[in-house]
């Protein structure tokens, strides 16, 4: 009986102890911590590894973004664009000052966070490069579509293909990250990380004479340009050197080769455009692939606005002859007829007898009709000897009056020395132009003195008394060394965009910006305006690189 009670008592105490334990609330936090500790450790391990992967991805993305931007900045359409882009990317990857590195790659069986990767690019050693660089001529229509290299890539192995490269595509090679902690039941894993970037070149011109000229070599049938119709190929071959273009504006006809038009300025109206033409300050910048144009009724300001550069102040511009913003060029020789009573500072009246005074002449051969205007038939083939004899030959008016222009003996004793800062375009065959361009002669007149006296050649007088000095500006508008006779204009394929160019238009694409020399003042015939231009340089393939100095060039990421 006693044992039975004892046993029952023990069992009861056990039950009470178990019940107390089960109902005890002290120390429950420790229990929950012990239970959840594996979960917290797994989260911590995942955060550490995910951070390593994320940081590596960010570093790689920053590196390829910088490389793509550096390469795209050189893709200006010139023949050496791809080699320059490769060099820019390589220099960025090898210069420690830029800290173009990536961290947290790799790992090992211990607990290291990873190591640093030098983002090196060597065009000659693909295996040693941390990135793969390609140059693309186009992109898929949608950013969601992958880049098909068979369609969009240019190889870059041939120099001429540089002018097709519009995008720099930089891809980081796979970099592996070994996780520090096991992922699930799979054990430690190796995660591959890579990134890519695509950037393109953009250019805008701010100090542009607000006119566009139609590409004189545009293929009338449209389609892809060939060397015979591409303005860049013609310029590189020397086919535009010393070749005068007479371009006309006629609002009654659609624009095409031989025509010019206007770009939109800051503000509306013909008066605003006139002053922008005179000063070369349109108040806006023009992007090469997004020009805005003005309609044809603004043709009136062309003559008076542009001719201030030649020392003529017609119409309302008479009040600006004392304003430095409207100063004339330092050499305004134009074959002007000399009136009996003082100089005519308003109108351009060319001398009828060109043996008395002569502007830069047209080509010797009959010019080629290019629709709206014309172009000299042959490069570097104009009568320099006759121009030089009349302008600098020391002949008297009486001597010249007795000469017949058809039988006038050519051949002065001119020994032409090009100005030292003028680059001569490459020339087929011999590599030297037969005679200098009109622009070269203009500079020669400004920069060379009359032996043995110091006055420059621009001060020598023609038989009628004209010289090149600007005499119509006020005392506070003294000219300076800037080429005021050089206009900075856009070149447009007008046939391809003819429908859009019928009126005010937006997003007109230019094939280039160009520096062009005014060989003489603007002339009028009824409602028609004619400008006389000789091309000096242009942006893109085959250019000499002087126009890019006037551009605001940028690179932007597009992928």
> What does the pLDDT profile of the chain (559 residues) look like in tens digits?
445 554 555 677 777 766 776 666 666 677 677 776 777 766 776 677 777 777 778 888 888 888 889 888 888 777 778 888 888 888 876 655 556 776 666 655 555 556 677 788 888 888 888 888 889 888 888 888 888 887 788 876 666 677 788 899 998 888 777 777 665 545 557 777 888 899 988 877 787 888 899 998 887 766 666 666 788 888 888 888 889 999 988 777 778 888 888 888 887 777 788 888 888 888 888 887 788 887 756 555 678 889 999 999 988 888 888 888 888 898 999 999 887 666 788 888 888 888 888 899 988 888 888 888 899 988 888 888 788 878 887 544 444 444 443 433 333 333 333 333 333 344 444 445 677 888 888 887 887 766 556 567 888 888 888 888 888 877 666 666 568 899 888 999 888 888 888 777 788 888 888 999 999 999 887 777 889 999 998 888 778 878 877 777 778 888 8
**198 & 229 share domain:** no
* 470 φ/ψ angles, rounded to the nearest 5 degrees: -75, 120
Whether omega before 126 lies within 30 degrees of 0, making that bond cis, reads no
Tokens of 295: 């309609």
Counting Cα atoms < 13 Å in the Cβ hemisphere of 202 gives: 13
Judge if 180 and 223 occupy the same domain.
no
Q: Please give the pLDDT value at position 153.
A: 82
Q: Look at residues 184, 203, 222 and tell me which one is the last residue of a structural domain.
A: 203
**Nearest Cα residue to 119 out of 107, 106, 133, 131:** 131
Show the DSSP H helices in 422-494 as ranges. Answer: 438-447
- State whether 51 and 74 are in the same domain: yes
Report which of 470, 472, 493, 490 is spatially closest to residue 480, judged by C-alpha positions: 470
Task: Point out the domain boundary residue: 170, 203, 236.
Answer: 203
Total number of domains constituting the chain: 2
Assigned domain for 433 exists: yes
What's 402's DSSP letter? Answer: T
164 shares its domain with 301:
no
Q: Are residues 266 and 388 in the same domain?
A: yes
Distance CA 487, CA 478 (A): 19
Contact 261, 491 (CB under 8 A): no
Residue 172: per-residue pLDDT = 86
Place of tokens 């006055």: 455
Last residue of a domain, one of 156, 184, 203: 203
- Rounded to whole angstroms, what are the CA distances from 293 to 218, 253, 264, 538? 19, 16, 5, 20
249: left (phi over 0), alpha (psi -120 to 50) or beta: beta
Q: What is the CA radius of gyration of the chain?
A: 37
Establish if 148 belongs to a structural domain. Answer: yes
Residue 49 near residue 180 (C-beta atoms within 8 A): yes
Integer Cα distance of 158 and 173 in angstroms: 25
Could you give the CA distance from residue 68 to residue 60 in angstroms, rounded to a whole number?
A: 12
Nearest to 255 by CA among 453, 55, 508, 27: 508
- Residue 35, in any domain of the structure: no
> Do residues 125 and 252 both lie within one domain?
no
Q: Which residues contact 235 (CB under 8 A, 6 or more apart)?
A: 425, 535, 538, 542, 543
- Residues 187 and 133 reside in one and the same domain: yes
The reported pLDDT for the residue numbered 333 is 92
Please indicate, yes or no, whether residues 240 and 190 belong to a single structural domain of this protein. Answer: no
Q: Which residues contact 110 (CB under 8 A, 6 or more apart)?
A: none
SS3 content of the chain, % helix, strand, coil (to 5): 30, 20, 50
Please report the pLDDT score of residue 300 as a whole number.
59
State the alpha helices, DSSP H only, in 394-534. 397-401, 438-447
- What per-residue confidence (pLDDT) applies to 246? 93
| 180 shares its domain with 215 | no
pTM of the predicted model as reported, rounded to 2 decimal places = 0.73
Do residues 467 and 457 make contact, with C-beta atoms less than 8 angstroms apart? no
Contact 539, 203 (CB under 8 A): yes
- 305 phi/psi in degrees, rounded to 5: -65, -55
| The pLDDT of residue 64 | 86
Q: Do 217 and 107 fall within a single domain?
A: no
Domain containing residue 280:
206-557
Give yes or no: residues 59 and 99 share one domain: yes
> Would you say residue 25 lies in a domain?
no
Residue 30: CB atoms within 10 Å: 9
Tokens of 65: 């973004």
**Domain identity same for 373 and 490:** yes
């Amino acid at each position: 009986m006693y044992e039975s009670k004892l046993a029952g008592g023990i069992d009861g105490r056990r039950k009470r102890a178990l019940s107390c334990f089960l109902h005890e609330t002290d120390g429950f936090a420790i229990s929950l911590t012990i239970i959840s500790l594996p979960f917290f450790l797994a989260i911590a391990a995942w955060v550490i590894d995910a951070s390593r992967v994320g940081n590596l991805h960010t570093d790689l993305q920053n590196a390829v973004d910088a490389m793509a931007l550096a390469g795209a900045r050189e893709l200006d359409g010139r023949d050496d664009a791809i080699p320059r882009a490769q060099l820019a990317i390589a220099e960025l990857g090898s210069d420690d000052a830029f800290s173009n590195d990536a961290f947290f790659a790799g790992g090992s069986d211990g607990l290291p966070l990873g190591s640093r990767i030098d983002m090196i690019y060597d065009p000659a050693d693909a295996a040693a490069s941390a990135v793969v660089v390609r140059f693309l001529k186009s992109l898929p229509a949608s950013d969601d579509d992958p880049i098909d290299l068979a369609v969009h890539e240019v190889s870059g192995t041939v120099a001429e293909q540089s002018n097709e490269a519009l995008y720099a595509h930089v891809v980081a090679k796979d970099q592996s990250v070994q996780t520090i902690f096991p992922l699930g039941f799979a054990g430690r894993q190796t995660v591959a990380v890579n990134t890519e970037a695509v950037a393109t070149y953009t250019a805008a011109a701010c100090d542009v004479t607000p006119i566009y000229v139609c590409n004189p070599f545009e293929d009338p049938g449209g389609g892809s340009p060939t060397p015979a119709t591409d303005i860049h190929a013609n310029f590189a071959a020397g086919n535009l050197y010393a070749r005068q273009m007479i371009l006309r504006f006629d609002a009654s006809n659609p624009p095409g080769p031989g025509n010019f038009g206007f770009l939109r300025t800051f503000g509306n109206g013909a008066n605003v455009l006139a002053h922008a033409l005179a000063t070369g300050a349109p108040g806006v910048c023009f992007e090469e692939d997004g020009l805005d144009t003005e309609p044809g009724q603004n043709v009136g300001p062309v003559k008076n606005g542009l001719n201030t550069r030649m020392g003529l102040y017609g119409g309302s511009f008479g009040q600006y002859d004392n304003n430095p913003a409207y100063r004339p060029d330092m050499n305004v020789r134009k074959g002007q007829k000399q009136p009996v009573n003082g100089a005519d500072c308003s109108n351009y009246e060319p001398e009828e007898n060109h043996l008395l005074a002569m502007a830069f002449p047209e080509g010797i051969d009959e010019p080629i009709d290019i629709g709206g205007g014309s172009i000299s038939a042959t490069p570097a083939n104009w009568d320099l000897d006759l121009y030089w004899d009349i302008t600098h030959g020391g002949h008297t008016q009486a001597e010249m009056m007795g000469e017949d222009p058809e039988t006038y003996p050519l051949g002065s004793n001119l020994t032409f020395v090009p100005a030292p800062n003028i680059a001569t375009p490459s020339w087929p065959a011999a590599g030297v132009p037969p005679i200098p361009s009109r622009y070269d002669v203009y500079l020669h007149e400004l920069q060379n003195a009359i032996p043995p006296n110091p006055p420059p050649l621009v001060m020598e007088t023609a038989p009628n008394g004209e010289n090149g000095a600007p005499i119509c500006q006020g005392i506070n508008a003294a000219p300076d060394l800037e080429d005021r006779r050089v206009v900075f204009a856009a070149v447009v394929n007008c046939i391809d965009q003819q429908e859009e160019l019928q009126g005010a238009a937006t997003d007109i694409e230019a094939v280039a910006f160009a520096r062009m020399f005014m060989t003489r003042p603007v002339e009028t015939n009824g409602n028609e305006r004619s400008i006389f231009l000789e091309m000096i340089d242009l942006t893109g393939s085959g250019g000499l690189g002087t126009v890019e100095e006037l551009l605001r060039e940028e690179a932007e990421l597009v992928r």
